[in-house]
Structure 1
Amino acid sequence: MLHLLFLHYVGSEQDAGPFIEGHVAYLERHHHDGTFLVSGQTVPTAIGGAIIAHGVDRRTIEHITQQDPFVIHGVAKYTITTITPGRVHAALADVLSS
């Protein structure tokens, strides 16, 4: 199961400024534990960011997104789209099977 997480700023991108350090630590923690496969800013950056997550169920990923300092401080919110991959590129097969 994969989760596509879309982070949307509630206000301006500048409102998130004071919480960037905590947000980066949050991303690093979940990349390190293997839940987040990819994360990055959208283009343009003023919209927010996106994350591809795997290895946890929908309820767990909802809980994880609520721990983001951007969400805790009310400067951003997530929308989550959960998918069950039907076709997977060979380069990703081992990663997604773990």
Structure 2
Amino acid sequence: MAAESVLHLLRLHYTDSEEDAAPFVTAHVEYLRRYHADGTFLVSGQTLPTSDGGVIVAHGVDRDAVEALSAQDPFVVAGVARYSITTVTAGRVHPALAGLLG
């Protein structure tokens, strides 16, 4: 399956408290900027309530690559968060996103 035809929903879960993650926020934001800039991350943001963690929508890479990317997140490296990843085949796509998703 082509990497362009799938989306990955990365769900960030704090392993302890949001406060434990605070010292790593700057590095985490830089991590997000890097993968938004190269087009891998389409959307990212905190969940509400923020203590639950966050979400990233990624595309253009296969499952192995997105797992490797998630392991590089400074939150994960520091042991203050983990990801669960759901991979979705984009069967129907809004016309506004069709060009972006291939």
**Please, what TM-score do these two structures have when normalized by structure 2?**
0.94
Q: Tell me what 1:54 maps to.
A: 59
**In 2, Cα distance between the equivalents of 1:90 and 1:83?**
18
Q: Which stretches of structure 1, 4 residues or longer, exceed 6 Å deviation after superposition?
A: none
Pick from 38, 45, 49 the counterpart of residue 33 of structure 1: 38
- Partner residue, 2:70: 65
RMSD of the TM alignment (CA)?
0.3
Of 4, 7, 19, the match for 2:9: 4
The yes-or-no answer on 1:14 pairing with 2:19 is yes
Question: Which residue identity is paired with 2:44?
Answer: S
Separation of aligned partners in 1, 2:22 and 2:7:
29
Deviations 1:24-82 (A, max 9, x none): 00000000000000000000000000000000000000000000000000000000000
Q: 1:3 deviation in Å?
A: 0.2
Q: Output the amino acid matched with 1:8.
A: H
Q: What residue in structure 2 maps to residue 90 of structure 1?
A: 95
Give the count of matched residue pairs: 97
Structure 2 unaligned spans of 5+:
1-5
